[in-house]
Structure 1
Amino acid sequence: MFLINDIEVIKIPVRNSKEPFCNLTEINKRIKVDLSMSQIASKSEYFSYARETIAIKLLEAALLLPEGINFYIKEAYRPLQQQKDSFNSVLEYNRKHYGDLPEEEIYLETCKYVAPPEYAPHPTGAAIDITLINDKGIESDMGTEFNATPGETDNATYFHSDNISDEARENRRILSRALSRMGFVNYEPEWWHWSIGDRYWALLKNEDAAKYDVVDGNWIKKNTCEAMEWK
């Protein structure tokens, strides 16, 4: 397993695509978005936006879900400054709670939960944090809460953790089957984190380069998907 700050990830170059962003709230009834933003730190108006490829592949993946089960997006795009703030916040938390560990190990523990800003996929629009929800609005049991940490769950946030119920394991399989078939890759320490086009994806897919670089809200505003007929 590679962490997102692994040297093999870091050395992947970025051949920046100018691909526009799409608002994931406008795609399909099988793709729902948590508009409350209650479980994320970002307050960006573009939190539900992702690159056009991600939107198209997500739509195709949604059609593979069992009847009555839908995707539930928690977060897609995240501003770079928010990524920096989140990383530093978790780093400081880990310093207080793992103070007896060497600084390098504390840094690595932090990278399991939040990506270092310089390599993070969310600020590029390549990543989505996603779970499942049924037609009644009840979120599926995925073994841990979204955004839980490995440390507080005895590593149950790891996608292939054995420390979860059979029901949660099956729900993770449902999520994985649909997304993986469309080319998404999972970041193992976080069952909810999936991406296409970032450095981590490029490494796992044996691609020569990542597709997307960091952008800000002003760029997204000027580069949104043209109207298309979503299925």
Structure 2
Amino acid sequence: MKPYQKIPIQECDEPLVAIPLGKFAIESPHPYEKLGANYRGQSPYSLRQGVLEALINAQTYLHQRYPGWKIKIFDAYRPVEVQQFMVGYTLARLLRERGLKQENLSSEQRQKLLEEVYQIWAVPSDNPATPPPHSTGAAVDVTLVDATGNTLDMGGEIDELSPRSHPDYYANMTSEKERLYCTRRQLLYEVMREAGFCRHPGEWWHFSLGDQMWAWQHSRENLDNFLAARYGRVLNL
């Protein structure tokens, strides 16, 4: 169990709504659907109503600083079944890259590989007390697009299983390109934070508002103001 999963959830029953895609840049087709993930008819480009409103605000803050730029949505709502699919996909990719076969793994080897996978992917838990963040409709993976429509190089790919995924990976580096990566990540962080989001401690692209991770981070920063999460796993779609 990760620390944020101990945060209680007081579900507010706010609806999951479609993201107005014309306001943002998106990945199309959706990256996980291209890999074979089955969303069972539900659009991955969905968020809780309040989270969507905050994301629109973040886009406004970005426009105020860089007219014509857009937030690019890589992923938003993700059912637990898709979370399980992506965990399996990432594990299989690691096995291929290392020339290993799953049937030949010891339990210890498998556990170590899964620990690597879970550096990026939340455990696809069915427990309502410990939902994967994206299954709540309160988490979104984003990057930036400039006024010409080009996706900015952030010095690492979304979902990259490497140290470069850490938000501050380039913070103390000195080359011009590395400083640019750091500046772009900081810009994304600032416009999302201004809209009320918290960033995942280990992923430059992952932001949430109202879920357990958000409440955990908020409570750590404001010790006299403990918050419960208001969004749990989305059910009964």
- TM-score bracket for this pair, using the shorter chain length: 0.7 to 0.9
Measured after TM superposition, the shift of residue 39 of structure 1 is 5.7
Range with bigger deviation, 135-144 or 160-169: 160-169
Aligned-partner residue type, residue 49 of structure 1: S
What is the TM-score of this pair, normalised by structure 2? 0.77
Are 1:112 and 2:112 matched, yes or no?
Answer: no
Q: Is the 8 A contact 2:218 2:227 kept in 1?
A: no
Closer, same or farther: CA 12–94 of 1 in aligned 2, 3 Å? farther
Q: Secondary structure of the equivalent of 1:202?
A: helix
Computing the radius of gyration over CA atoms, which structure comes out larger, 1 or 2? 2
User: What is the alpha-carbon distance in structure 1 between the residues aligned to residue 38 and residue 204 of structure 2?
Assistant: 23
Measured after TM superposition, the shift of residue 135 of structure 1 is 2.6
User: What is the alpha-carbon distance in structure 2 between the residues aligned to residue 210 and residue 92 of structure 1?
Assistant: 33
Of residues 154, 159, 164, the one that matches 2:167 is 159
Q: Is the 8 A contact 1:141 1:167 kept in 2?
A: no
User: What is the alpha-carbon distance in structure 2 between the residues aligned to residue 60 and residue 133 of structure 1?
Assistant: 16
Are 1:60 and 2:57 matched, yes or no?
Answer: yes
Which ranges of structure 2 fall in alignment gaps of 5 or more residues? Answer: 126-130, 220-225
User: What is the alpha-carbon distance in structure 1 between the residues aligned to residue 114 and residue 183 of structure 2?
Assistant: 32
Q: Secondary structure of the equivalent of 2:188?
A: helix
Of residues 43, 46, 50, the one that matches 2:43 is 46
Q: Is the 8 A contact 1:39 1:74 kept in 2?
A: no
Q: Secondary structure of the equivalent of 1:71?
A: strand
CA distances 1:100-149 after superposition (whole Å, capped 9, x unpaired): 97655443322211111123111110100100012322101111122221
CA distances 1:169-194 after superposition (whole Å, capped 9, x unpaired): 11111100100112211112221111
> What's the % identity of the aligned pairs?
26
Q: Is the 8 A contact 1:13 1:199 kept in 2?
A: yes
Range with bigger deviation, 84-93 or 138-147: 84-93
Of residues 13, 34, 38, the one that matches 1:18 is 13
* 1:228 aligned residue: none
Aligned-partner residue type, residue 181 of structure 1: E
Measured after TM superposition, the shift of residue 92 of structure 1 is 5.0
Q: Is the 8 A contact 1:123 1:215 kept in 2?
A: yes
Which ranges of structure 1 fall in alignment gaps of 5 or more residues? Answer: 220-231
Q: Is the 8 A contact 1:23 1:50 kept in 2?
A: yes
More helix by share: 2
Are 1:37 and 2:30 matched, yes or no?
Answer: yes
Report the number of matched residues. Answer: 207
Closer, same or farther: CA 84–35 of 1 in aligned 2, 3 Å? same
Aligned-partner residue type, residue 204 of structure 2: W
CA distances 1:32-70 after superposition (whole Å, capped 9, x unpaired): 222321366445341000001111111111111121211
User: What is the alpha-carbon distance in structure 2 between the residues aligned to residue 54 and residue 147 of structure 1?
Assistant: 21
Of residues 130, 144, 158, the one that matches 1:146 is 158
What is the TM-score of this pair, normalised by structure 1? 0.79
The CA RMSD over aligned residues, in Å, is: 2.5
Q: Is the 8 A contact 1:25 1:33 kept in 2?
A: no
Measured after TM superposition, the shift of residue 19 of structure 1 is 0.3
Q: Is the 8 A contact 1:87 1:110 kept in 2?
A: yes
Q: Is the 8 A contact 1:185 1:196 kept in 2?
A: yes
